Amino acid sequence: PQPVVAVVGRPNVGKSTLVNRIIGRREAVVEDVPGVTRDRVTYDAAWRGRRFTVVDTGGWDPDATGMALRIAEQAQIAADLADVILFVVDATVGVTDADEIVGHVLRGSGKPVILAANKVDNQQMELEAAALWSLGLGEPYPVSALHGRASGDLLDVILDAL
Ligand code: GDP
Ligand code: MG
């Protein structure tokens, strides 16, 4: 069986866009409306000859009651099924309460976590990415899923963690 990389994060941070970068195809549905990827969708990927499975995790309804619990549950489900967790945060927004909850769950999972600071579309934005150190998950890796900026570097980091 191939190692599993689970992509987790708030709605609209660019998880599906990043999944498309990783798999090199446009199969994951990207939407401007938050919370579109409802269920976990699995894809085959390969980088430098290593094969692995990518799971685009379902979002949660940002307006639902008991949201903190739902977020924690979703993060835990993703952590349980993953060998490596790719936690995506929107660097243009910074760390939100929901990101803190996810970060807390992932830190307790015992699984390797790679922190992707997405929407770093240019070099100026890299300063924003540094704010994500506060999540306590180590180095944030700046990436632009939309433009492909540094996505190869991120894939190298993922490969090292597999
Ligand atoms: P998901 O809900 O986390 O799966 O997010 P999506 O992949 O559906 O993307 C949500 C929105 O963010 C879409 O409008 C994307 O085009 C946009 N987006 C994703 N990645 C980037 C990025 O690197 N830079 C910018 N500027 N926008 C992005
Ligand atoms: Mg999505």
Structure tokens at 99: 């990101």
Residue nearest ligand 1's atom 10 by CA? 12
pLDDT tens-digit readout, 22-57:
999 787 777 655 554 556 788 999 999 999 999 988
Neighbours of 87 (CB within 10 A): 27
Q: Is 15 among the annotated ligand-binding positions?
A: yes
For residue 4, what pLDDT is reported?
96
Kindly tell me if the per-residue pLDDT of 121 is higher than 80: yes
To the question of whether residue 60 is assigned a binding role by annotation, the answer is yes
pLDDT of the residue at 100 = 94
Confidence check: pLDDT of 117 > 70 = yes
* Interval 4-23: pLDDT, tens: 999 999 888 999 999 999 99
CA dihedral 117, 119, 122, 125 (to 10 degrees): -60
* Mean model confidence pLDDT for the chain: 89
66 is in an annotated binding site: no
φ and ψ of 89, to 5 deg:
-125, 145
Contact 33, 63 (CB under 8 A): no
Nearest CA to ligand 1 atom 14: 32
| Pocket test residue of 8, 10, 12 for ligand 1, highest count of atoms within 8 A of CB | 12
Question: For the whole model, what pTM was predicted?
Answer: 0.93
Q: What is the ipTM of this complex?
A: 0.99
CB-based neighbours (< 5 A) of ligand 2, an ion: 15-16, 37
Q: How far apart are CA 128 and CA 112, in angstroms?
A: 23
Does the 4-161 domain belong in CATH 3.90.1580.10? no
The domains of the chain are located at 4-161
How many A from CA of 146 to the centre of ligand 1? 7
Mutate to test the pocket of ligand 1, among 15, 30, 126, 143 (most ligand atoms within 8 A of CB): 30
20 annotated ligand-binding residue: no
